[in-house]
Amino acid sequence: MRLRHKPWAKQFIEEHPEYVMTSSSKTKTSWKELFGNDNPIYVEVGTGKGKFLDNMSQEYPNINFIGIEKSESVLVMGLQRLLKDHKSNVRFINGDVLDLLDFFQPGEVDRLFINFTDPWPKKRHEKRRLTYKSFLSLYEQIMSDNAEIHMKTDNQGLFEYSLESMSRYGMTLKNISLDLHNSEKEDNIMTEYEEKFSQKGQRIFRLESYFSS
Ligand code: SAM
């Protein structure tokens, strides 16, 4: 996400630990305790400005949403929206997906979204793709039994890679769409990048998967 660097963002984020967890504000308290209820927990990795979670939280008030984003300058925009709307079912983590285990306990996550993540097309960058096997292993550790991963992308190469990577990992794949916006799925909630790409006429790919027990 190309965006002007905001030198004030880090401090602004640190001043709002009630909405954004960081490596310095993280606690051992479970997310259910932090949200104050037993509702399912859905996570988006690489959430950007959190627009998708904002729309989802409105549509599904009985689900708790957490967005993980490493860029302060991007995340701060989601935080500013949250401070205006005071949504009780949305929180952010300012951190790297690599450090997921620092922020979640085993089995804590009921669904994980990977939306329009960076494709890292060069073979030598394969390990950075958020569907590389080491990331799948992290997701598996924090997800509850039969919890699903839902992925959307405009990038055919990343999509094909992810199908293979998940399948090789032993995951079960379902509801695969090679053209989401011309499919029968009616309850799609668009992400910020999805809106941009679909306005340009780009095809959107989508999959659902879960770790087979
Ligand atoms: N999911 C949003 C959407 O669909 O509109 C944003 C997509 S944007 C292309 C990808 C975002 O993922 C960027 O803001 C980037 O900083 C973030 N990101 C990429 N790798 C990450 C990682 N390892 N940990 C945390 N955030 C990451």
ipTM value for the complex: 0.99
Indicate the length of the chain as a whole number. Answer: 213
Predicted confidence (pLDDT) per residue in 42-58, tens digit: 999 999 999 999 999 99
| Nearest Cα to Cα of residue 37 among 85, 82, 88, 87 | 88
2 pLDDT higher than 70: no
pLDDT above 70 as % of the chain:
99
Ligand 1 binding residues, C-beta < 6 A:
1, 46-48, 52, 68-71, 74, 96-98, 115-118, 191-194
Average pLDDT on 62-89 reads 96
Average pLDDT on 159-171 reads 98
Residue to mutate (ligand 1; options 4, 47, 72, 120; most atoms within 8 A of CB): 47
| Nearest Cα to Cα of residue 116 among 142, 152, 141, 83 | 152
Q: What is the pLDDT of residue 204?
A: 97
Annotated catalytic residue: which of 54, 118, 145, 187?
A: 118
The pTM for the full model equals: 0.97
Domains and CATH numbers, the chain: 9-211 (3.40.50.150)
| Annotation says 118 is catalytic | yes
Instruction: Report the alpha-carbon distance of residue 199 to residue 89 in Å, rounded.
Output: 29
